[in-house]
Amino acid sequence: MNGVRSKQEKVTGLIAHLVMILLSFLAIAPFWMLVASSLTNNNTLTRFGYNFWPRVFSADAYAYIAQEWAQIGHAYLLTVVVTAVGTFVAVLLASMGAYALCQKDVPGTKLCMVLILFTILFNGGIVASYITYTNVVNVKNTIWALLVPNLLLNGFNITLVRNYMLNNVPSALLEAADIDGAGEFRKFFTIVLPLSKPILATVGLLAAVAYWNDWTNGLYYITDSRLNTIQLLLDQMNKSVQYLASHSELAAASKQELPGTAMRMAIAVVGILPIILIYPFFQKYFAQGLTIGAVKG
């Protein structure tokens, strides 16, 4: 019986490994093809299509980006600052809001949760949001336009953190802190936050990805080129290349072969690279934060 069970476990383990290898390949292959295409000569790429290895190596797309590095460097720095500040504030607000909603003896917490869940399901729409942020809050062409609208705080993050705190922060530990005379801020920063690292890392990663990839806020609220983020700037560069490519006389006047499709692939690589580099450091906490909340919630 043990021999049969051991054999079944080996077969199951082998199948599981094969499935994971296949899924890993399917996840990595698009990124590999993306990089290979960005390093391929544009005419070759147009003629033969995408491949996992450059048929004719060319760095023209990256050379074009390098020519515009004065703008790109500024946009990168701005995006890093916005992502760092926005992520920190978003995690802090979500954790503080979640901790407040965990207090069972505070009146009105259930009503607040209903209102928060309502915002997850419904919103005022683009027009109402635009009028509010531009005419009432006056964030247009300011750094706040990249930080506040749609990204700084949302009900999903608060709900996620609240459920984690309810199920993974022992109430007995907080009661003991009360007996020792600890205040709410001390309990929050010395007990609750350290025990909530997995979910905070999860929310932080979600917020960082949202801030880094965001270009809609810039599209709606930014007309000053000095406030262009990397995503918005690269999108504008891509449109400029497409415009020149569609007007042969302008392309001839530029005296330069336009990267075209390879340029779009290079733009995608430049835009996604920081997230790919950061994600492995948060992956453990990301998986732990979601699975624990799902099992116990």
DSSP string, 66-101: HHTHHHHHHHHHHHHHHHHHHHHHHHHHHHHHHHHH
Residue 54 inside a domain? The answer is no
Residue 293 has pLDDT above 70, yes or no: no
Domain count across the chain: 2
The pLDDT > 70 percentage for the chain reads: 86
* Confidence tier at 297 by pLDDT (50, 70, 90): very low
- 90 and 200 housed in the same domain: yes
Ranges 202-216, 234-248, 265-279, most confident: 202-216
Residue 252 inside a domain? The answer is yes
| Distance (Å, whole) CA 90 – CA 95 | 8
- 126 and 251 housed in the same domain: yes
- 139 and 182 housed in the same domain: yes
Residue 290 inside a domain? The answer is yes
Residue 60 inside a domain? The answer is no
Question: Domain range holding 24?
Answer: 2-38
Residues 6+ apart with CB under 8 A from 271: 213, 230, 231, 234
| Distance (Å, whole) CA 49 – CA 43 | 10
Of the candidate ranges 39-43, 227-231, 282-286, the one whose mean pLDDT is the lowest: 282-286
Residue 200 has pLDDT above 60, yes or no: yes
Quick one: how far is CA 169 from the chain centroid?
27
- 175 and 91 housed in the same domain: yes
Closest CA to 174 of 163, 186, 157: 186
Q: Residue 246: give its domain's CATH number.
A: 1.10.3720.10
Of the candidate ranges 4-13, 109-118, 200-209, the one whose mean pLDDT is the lowest: 4-13
| Distance (Å, whole) CA 161 – CA 35 | 36
Residue 26 inside a domain? The answer is yes
Q: What's residue 295's pLDDT?
A: 44
Average pLDDT, the chain: 82
Q: Which two tokens stand for residue 70?
A: 């004065």
- 81 and 29 housed in the same domain: no
Residue 296 has pLDDT above 50, yes or no: no
- 194 and 71 housed in the same domain: yes
Residue 291 has pLDDT above 90, yes or no: no
The owner of tokens 């732990």 is: 288
pLDDT in tens, 20-34: 999 989 888 888 988
Residue 85 inside a domain? The answer is yes
| Distance (Å, whole) CA 263 – CA 154 | 35
- 70 and 108 housed in the same domain: yes
- 130 and 206 housed in the same domain: yes
Residue 50 inside a domain? The answer is no
| Distance (Å, whole) CA 101 – CA 279 | 29
The pLDDT of 109-137, averaged and rounded, is 86
* CB contact at 8 A, 197 and 168: no
Q: What's residue 1's pLDDT?
A: 45
Residue 55 inside a domain? The answer is no
More confident residue, 220 or 242: 220
| Distance (Å, whole) CA 146 – CA 83 | 9
Instruction: Name the pTM for this structure.
Output: 0.78
* CB contact at 8 A, 106 and 100: yes
- 19 and 108 housed in the same domain: no
| Distance (Å, whole) CA 148 – CA 87 | 11
